[in-house]
Structure 1
Amino acid sequence: MEVHLSGNGEPAISSAHKNPRRVLLVVNPKSRNGAEADIDSGLARLRADGIEVEILHSEGPEETEAVIRQSHKNLDLVIVGGGDGTISSTARVLKECQLALAILPLGTANDLARSLGIVDLEQAFDVIIGNHRQLIDLGVVNGHYFFNVANMGLGVKVTEAQDSEIKKRWGVLSYLRAFFIALRRTQKFRVDLALDEERCQMRSIQLAVGNGRYYGGGNLVAENARINDAKLNLYSLRPRGLLELLGMAFLLRGGKHHLTEGVFNASAQRIEVETKPRVQIHADGEPVAETPATFSVIPRALEVLVPRNSEELLSRKERGQ
């Protein structure tokens, strides 16, 4: 076993010469590519490498959790094939059973895959065979774990405006359609924030708290955010008209929120949010809670298979910026 330094200076585990003996592959057939994706060739590669693969086609987190809990002592790894919501639903049981996670990006946005530096299905199988492991953080909101981002306001309306058939047909472009629909439905709300020891108030139409780096089909929650930096990144979008929002779109897409006066930015390890009126919270694209809410981060919470030397897991200094 080799030991390498991860992006936050901690040792990352690499077992390239000792592949997992038995793995469970959980596939959500309802994810965008879950039913149509050709994973047979990838599975053949795993088996040729000496990996025994058991496959579970599961449409619900309860069934997945029950199978993992029942068989976790005989597993070396769980592979989850699906979108961000499917993968996020396994976070609690994987953490509690101390099982490593590998992913097959079969969803629409695949933002966790982006945060880990995995660009496509073929590379995902390369990563599993390479078996390079690194510890990443988990976000928590009102007791619910999440990998990427939790949204309030506009982001929730975008998710609600999504149509499953259009998502399958348009892919990431479906988020643009949903964005314009959501703009007509979004309402202003007042926010009271406690950021570690600091308190502040503001008006908002969108508030996001990120544990990972990407959300919403490739948007950056913050320019320098990483999923292993032991902190949460928050931004709040102040009420703006359509033309102003469109003018800010490029900066928001690239996580350069700090370059515009229309956005409040902060980072913390613990965040308390109260709103008037109360608003719904979506995490990794799924409804999980409503305000008031408490957010926290669990550093080095889960072992995940990642590409060796993935730039998405390196700090800005390590990337030479």
Structure 2
Amino acid sequence: MSCTWALIANPSAGCGRPRRLVEACVAGLQSTGLGVDLSWSTGPGHATRLANEAVESGTSGIIIAGGDGTISEVLQAPLPPDLPIGLLPCGSGNDLARSLGIARGRRAIDVILAGHGRQLDLGQCGHRRFATVAACGLDAAVSEAKLTGHAALPGTAGYVWATLRTLARHQPTRLRMTGDFGTIQMSTWLVATANTSCYGGGVRIAPNAQPNDGLFDVVIVDGALSHSAALTLLPRTLFGRHLPHPAIRVERTPWLQIEPIDSDQQILHADGERLGHAPATLCMQPGALRILTPRPADR
């Protein structure tokens, strides 16, 4: 039986410019004797259906050309944990690829052709899975602003701009958080439940997070911090230098229950998409995804 890979591409990713990269990837795979089944997604949820169809057809692997949102859609399909997944990062954020050391452009194609795979943990909230960071509080509000078109700039610049706009009107939220560490009840600016190190187009919210250790790094920013102090903390967060700050608390746990104290619900975001609402329980799925990454010596 011939070896055929499914290539699921989002034509809107990266301001609608992934086609040249996709064509180069198809040519590269075909030059090695592999077959390629290329499909372009046409709207929300379509990438999930395409991934479902690829799995049902017995595909040898799936390549995702797009950003974190496209990856998120594919993750909602029932992917076998040993099915190789390749990434062609061409979105506005590309946080999963960045965390795994996968560069943009033709170097991403080289990673796929090399075929070096590693198992990656995934988070789960209800029936939805996520790969990077689940956000609650200020960072979820920022992600919502970007998702609804209130932050026109891409990547980190868009995240910073949306944060500045959102911070001015955002108020801390009292939450109850329970995990292997016990129960914490406090006012918070944000709670970032991290499988990987960054979100928001490169913001290193959890610089020590490892996507294969079976644990979330839960980063909590104390709500007692003033608006002005929170603003001065932002530049440190961009480079992962915020953890020594006394208002930052980090806990490590394979599961986390988040409960709002003063409101019925709090929106949750992950991978640049709406994940659900708290109260919710986030659980780690160790080794749930096999992903093609650079070899350690190549990173």
Tell me the residue number matched to 2:247: 262
> C-alpha distance in 2, partners of 1:167/1:78?
31
Separation in 1 of the partners of 2:230 and 2:181? 31
Q: Which of residues 49, 67, 70 is equivalent to 1:66?
A: 49
Aligned mates of 1:179, 1:283 — CA distance in 2: 16
Change beyond 3 A, Cα 1:83–1:234: same
- Indicate yes or no: 2:105 matched with 1:118: no
| Amino acid in structure 1 at the alignment position of 2:253 | A
Shift of the 167–190 alpha-carbon distance from structure 1 to 2, 3 Å rule, reads closer
Give 1:188's aligned residue. Answer: 172
How far has the Cα of 1:138 moved from its partner?
0.3
Is 1:251 equivalent to 2:236 in the alignment?
yes
Structure 1 residues 71 and 85, CA, compared in 2 at 3 Å: closer, same or farther?
A: closer
Please give the per-residue CA displacement for 1:231-274, whole angstroms capped at 9, x wherever unaligned. Answer: 00111112333431232224322334430111221110111110
What amino acid maps onto 2:129 in structure 1? Y
- In structure 1, give the amino acid aligned to 2:291: V
| Partner residue, 1:157 | 141
2:20 is the alignment partner of 1:38: yes
Deviation at 1:101, TM superposition (A): 1.0
> Counterpart amino acid of 2:164?
F
SS of residue in 2 equivalent to 1:216: coil
Structure 1 residue 283: Cα displacement: 1.2
Match of 2:285 among 298, 305, 308: 298
Provide the secondary structure at the position in 2 that maps to 1:247: helix
Q: Does 1:147 align with 2:131?
A: yes
- State the Cα distance separating 1:165 from its structure 2 match: 7.4
Distance 2:240 2:91 in 1: 22
Equivalent in the alignment of 2:267: 280
Gaps in structure 1 of 5+ consecutive residues: 1-19, 313-321
Matched, 1:21 2:11: no
SS at match of 1:235: strand
Q: For the Cα contact (< 8 Å) 2:181–2:252, is it kept in 1?
A: no
Report the TM-score, using the length of structure 1 for normalisation: 0.83
Say if 1:161 and 1:181, in contact at 8 Å, map to a contact too: no
Aligned to 1:6: none
Q: Deviations for 1:141-180, whole angstroms, at most 9, x for unmatched residues?
A: 2231000011111112212222787867654311111111
> In the superposition, relative to structure 1, how do residues 170 and 84 fare at CA in structure 2: closer, same or farther (>3 Å)?
closer
Distance in 2, Cα, partners of 1:254 & 1:288: 25
Range with bigger deviation, 213-222 or 58-67: 58-67
Q: Distance in 1 between matches of 2:259 and 2:298?
A: 35
Identity across the alignment (%)? 30
SS at match of 2:283: strand
Q: CA RMSD in A?
A: 2.3
Query: Equivalent residue for 1:12?
Result: none
Q: Distance in 1 between matches of 2:240 and 2:170?
A: 21
**What stretches of structure 2 of length at least 5 have no aligned partner?**
none
Counterparts of 2:147 and 2:122, CA distance in 1: 28
CA contact (8 A) 2:124 2:130 kept: yes
Classify 1:22/1:141 alpha carbon distance in 2 versus 1 (closer, same or farther; 3 Å).
same
1:215 Cα offset (Å): 0.9
For residues 141 and 80 of structure 1, do their structure 2 counterparts lie closer, same or farther at Cα, with a shift above 3 Å needed?
A: same
Deviations 1:52-74 (A, max 9, x none): 11111113454333333334243
- Give the TM-score normalised by structure 2: 0.89
Question: Would you say the 8 A contact 2:156–2:203 is kept in 1?
Answer: no
Q: How many residues align?
A: 293
Q: Alignment partner for residue 232 of structure 1, among 193, 211, 216?
A: 216
- The aligned amino acid for 1:136 is L
Where 2:93 maps in the other structure, the secondary structure is coil
User: Take 1:34 and 1:52, find their aligned partners in 2: how far apart are those partners?
Assistant: 25
1:99 alignment partner, one of 79, 83, 107? 83
Residues 170/282 of structure 1: CA separation in 2 closer, same or farther (3 Å cut) = closer
Shift of residue 90 of structure 1? 1.1
What SS does the corresponding residue of 1:113 show, helix, strand or coil? helix
The aligned residue for residue 70 of structure 2 is 86
